Amino acid sequence: MDLVMPLAWLALAVAATALLARCRSPGGCWWIVAAGCMFAAVDEWIDLQSACFRLGKAVAGAALHAFGLDAHRPLAKVALLGLGTLAAVTAVWWFARRDRAFDRSKAIACAGLALALVFVGARLLPGLTWLFDSPVGVAIEVVAWALISIGVRGGFRRCDRAD
């Protein structure tokens, strides 16, 4: 399984990029999906989320110390991770909805991307790493990948009908 998911995410990123090249006016949603899949593929190989987490932890630690809130570090960690995940999902959904041709295939792909973002955010929460490093985590990642691939396939169908 070490090589399967990175290659699956990379193939999905290539498919979303091919959709961008194939359609006359693909809209911004497919750019977001392609970038999200590419980030997931790179993250599977070099563990970007741990590097981003360490950077966020250092920044949050400095901010908590500057404001004298060191005693509330565990609560602040959960709150910041929750807010960061919510902000990422909201940004994806907001940029996708700005697409004038937002249809069902784009909504399905964005739902898969949102599931992947929530999965990454939940995996970083204290006490939940054991749950998401198990087969449950693999199943959630496969479901997110499947939703995005269903959306991309629908995008190809819609693009073929429009041309």
Residue 116 token pair: 């992947």
Cα–Cα nearest to 28, from 89, 87, 94: 94
User: How many degrees, rounded to 5, is the angle at CA 66 between CA 52 and CA 47?
Assistant: 10
Tell me the C-alpha distance between 71 and 121, whole Å.
23
pLDDT of residue 162: 60
User: How many degrees, rounded to 5, is the angle at CA 125 between CA 31 and CA 139?
Assistant: 60
In this prediction, residues 18-30 reach a mean pLDDT of 78
Cα–Cα nearest to 16, from 146, 156, 120, 117: 156
Model confidence at 25: pLDDT above 70: no
Look up the domain containing 90 and give its range.
4-162
Tell me the C-alpha distance between 136 and 119, whole Å.
11
In this prediction, residues 29-50 reach a mean pLDDT of 82
pLDDT tens-digit series, residues 71-123: 777 777 778 778 888 888 888 778 777 777 788 988 899 899 889 888 877 77
Number of domains forming the structure of the chain:
1
pLDDT of residue 161: 67
Alpha carbon 73 to chain centroid distance?
26
